[in-house]
Amino acid sequence: MDWELPDELKLLQETVRAFVERELIPIEMSVPDREELPAEILAPLQEKAKALGLWMIDVPEELGGAGLGLLARAVIGEEVARTVALPFRGNPLFGPHLSPILLACNEDQRERYVYPLLRGELRACFAQTEADAGTDPSAMRTRARRDGDEWVIVGTKRFITLAHRSDFATVLAVTDPEAQRGRTISCFLVDLASPGVRLLRPQPTMMGDAPWEIAFDEVRVPAANLVGEQGGGFALGQRFLTVGRVLGHGAHPLGVAQRALELAIDYAKTRVTFGQPLSERQAIQFMIADSAIEIHAARLMVHRCACRYDQGLDTRDESYMVKIACSEMVNRVVDRAIQIHGSIGLTTELPLERWFRQMRSIRITEGATEVMRWRLARNLIRARP
């Protein structure tokens, strides 16, 4: 069994790391801590990324993208996460991206939504979470009822990232509450300029972003905007979340943790107390060793899960493990790095405090770790003969 990345992915890793070191880290502390980069900063970076072939990395080749698999995207995601120069959510560096939901669109839907999105003419957001249905989508209250050639959607979604900048949303809604478990929810493409759609309010968070609450008041959607089959929305949503757990809650924490560890080691080697550098103190050495061990173990989990996903295998349980292990690991590593830095680690002169705020959220978003543990344990127990 070969635990090394293939040569082509090593080259990709080196290319992205060099780009991050050269273009992003030098400017990171001057970039505003908010959910979108100013155009004057983003546009030149995108041109440089495009010149390296890093454009539309998750878009299939037949649609004009790089068509990279999940393992390749995880490698890229880890390297890019080593800087706070980019927004915490919705990294725009590599241009438009396609979620697993949009990849499921038929040709008519691609003509109306996907291709314009890839051309930069439209922007999209994902709307699943509700006040009483975050980690538990089965409690979803948003409803869609069929009325001739249309569906009528009623309900409220919240914590929808970049809703105010989006032209359409992929919305999950209950279409048949009496259907068997897992078949009650469907997915729709909803134009956010439609009558009855209201952006109620942003909800600023400690991470620097401000997701929105959206109301759907008798919003009429053409029947042709149903993605996949009726009752297939839950499966589509889970596919979206599985990829998100590997990338946003797995690879991203890896990059943050790795850079935090590097910063801690560099500081420990130069900071002198009582006549010796901190790196000579056993207490500091143990923190560094523990962080390195946890990062190494987490990276193996991410790479294995992503590799199995690319092979078409069921990785749902593994994605739970990745989410739990990486989201908890990164919080410990960043906390240790701040401790090693002492007071300077608390300042906004370093990226550590920003990561401390941002990484706290991933133990909650897209499935709280407590729920991931419960679901994982339940599946393991059921699988035991």
Instruction: Report the catalytic residues.
Output: 366
In the chain, the amino acid numbered 121 is E
In the chain, the amino acid numbered 29 is M
Tokens of 6: 């293939």
Q: 151 with 223: CB under 8 angstroms?
A: yes
For residue 190, the SS3 value is: strand
Distance CA 315, CA 312 (A): 9
Q: Nearest Cα to 364, choosing from 324, 334, 337, 335?
A: 324
Distance CA 245, CA 350 (A): 27
Q: 334 with 358: CB under 8 angstroms?
A: no
Name beta bridge partners: 126: 170
Distance CA 122, CA 9 (A): 31
Q: 227 with 187: CB under 8 angstroms?
A: yes
